[in-house]
Homo-oligomer: A and B are copies of this chain.
């Protein structure tokens, strides 16, 4: 991830980790001990599926070893490390798992990988993979980050520790392990697969559209009922949330400077001169102050709410059903708050969280920022903002509204520098994809919490937006943590019986393919 760029999956992973506390004890009362290798096979629904699932435990050691070997080859775009080796390795992994047609997709950046596994089924499913991982500093790790060592993690069980363990080689290898189970059982997949893989996710996917919209790739994707992003979706308590969309986001800097303004100093000057010259810092404060209403919260940018689409009756029903399952006290504690905005009820605050676009100050930086004071008048001051968007707002459209607003209020000189962002996403709760996800979780004894819209953001709009308009979402049992951090892990044998271990995660993909078919 480059500085200033939103980190799509990392952001999302962060969301998911943070989301944990929003889920109460009501969710996740799994009926089956998912982590129990011996027991889960009984859940299989038909003879073929049972045969395939039966292979998983037999291949356990081999597939974990495959994951370890993959972890040993880190492709890191920011360091230009292991290209095109990472793409070639990915292609080999796909071929060995049964993809018949696998090719590298050159881009102006790092190559992608495109694969087809046509088993002659009626239904097509797309898989999004990334073969790159985040940078790491071995000195910060308690085991070598490329070793993929299996260690006991208190409270979690046996986990694999390595860069990419959960983000996202672990969950992706669990999908490939599921395909190996089909091969070993001699069974055809109940759905055909399209693999779309990139090697630049951690630098914000600059070339991804070149992969997705290469004609044969796009054509293959158009056949699909949806796309899944493999993820260890379980919280440590075993609960799972299925998000039916996410807010969009614009990240930007507002910069007030003497240079652009043509008033105030072009360099920091002694503060005594404030008496007779203008201050870009005061100007920033005034410009900012126009962006929200007197409640200090509600966006006041002209036209900001014009494209806000109310929740559909279906979305509303899902929201109303899920709010009571969320844990207000836990949320307040973890957010460190005593009141919701406007002293609203938890219910209303959750409706607001899902439905309302926002303008947030991420940071303020101007002039002297060290300890104590320094008598200067700064020539420049910056506010770092993010705006969260709901359908049908767009990132570029909202950016434009902000610029127009500033111009209209006489702050046309205040620079608006967008550093990243993307439109909101929505996936139909009644889509085959979501229904199959929910059904699979339920069959595994996990009652997923449906949630109409993640308040955070991920760039799924490449799939969910025009022209593809694919249902899209993260899927997978299992649990991992430490994405982008030292000691990244993914659970191999869970100590909590409600959490799937490696074999349970692999099985969740086998089950999902059958559910989808």
Which residues of A are in contact with B by a Cβ distance under 8 Å?
2-6, 11, 14-15, 18, 247, 249, 251-253, 258, 262-267, 269-279, 281-286, 288-289, 292, 294, 296-297, 335-341, 344, 349-350, 352-354, 356, 358-379, 381, 384, 386, 388, 419-420, 454-457
Contacts and interface: CB of A to CB of B under 8 A. Distances in A.
A285 B356 CA distance: 22
Nearest to A338: B262
Given A270-B14, A341-B277, A374 B361 contact: no
Contacts of A269: 335-336
A246 to B, nearest CB: 9
Nearest to A351: B276
Nearest to A352: B276
Contact of A276 (B353, B376, B454, B456): B353
B297 A339 contact: no
Given A278-B296, A289-B289, A372 B4 contact: yes
Given A6-B375, A367-B363, A267 B336 contact: yes
A227 B108 CA distance: 74
A360 B275 CA distance: 9
Given A288-B285, A297-B282, A273 B374 contact: no
23 contacts: A5-B372, A14-B270, A258-B337, A262-B338, A263-B337, A265-B335, A269-B335, A270-B456, A272-B456, A276-B344, A276-B352, A277-B335, A277-B341, A278-B297, A279-B297, A279-B360, A285-B289, A286-B294, A361-B377, A363-B366, A363-B367, A364-B366, A372-B419
Oligomer: number of copies: 2
A498 to B, nearest CB: 25
Contacts of A364: 281, 284, 364-367, 369, 381
Given A270-B15, A281-B364, A285-B285, A275 B386 contact: no
B388 A384 contact: no
Contact of A341 (B2, B276, B294, B362): B276
A322 to B, nearest CB: 15
A251 B371 CA distance: 12
Contact of A379 (B6, B263, B336, B339): B336
A388 B337 CA distance: 37
A366 B277 CA distance: 25
Contacts of A337: 258, 263-266, 277-278
A378 B361 contact: yes
Contact of A3 (B6, B277, B297, B371): B371
Contact of A373 (B4, B270, B372): B4
In this complex, the member of A337, A338, A370 whose beta carbon has the largest number of chain B beta carbons within 10 angstroms is A337
Contact of A420 (B373, B379, B386): B373
Contacts of A4: 371-373
Nearest to A274: B360
Query: Lowest 5 A-B CB distances belong to which pairs?
Result: A4-B372, A266-B336, A272-B455, A363-B367, A281-B361
A123 to B, nearest CB: 34
Contacts of A361: 279, 281-282, 285, 366-367, 377-378, 381
A419 B249 CA distance: 39
Contact of A249 (B336, B359, B375): B375
Nearest to A421: B373
Contacts of A262: 338-339
A68 to B, nearest CB: 32
Contacts of A279: 296-297, 360-361
Contacts of A258: 336-337
B278 A341 contact: yes
Contacts of A420: 373
A304 to B, nearest CB: 13
Given A292-B282, A364-B364, A375 B11 contact: yes
A12 to B, nearest CB: 11
B352 A375 contact: no
Contacts of A275: 341, 352-354, 356, 358, 388, 455
B378 A273 contact: no
A336 B266 CA distance: 5
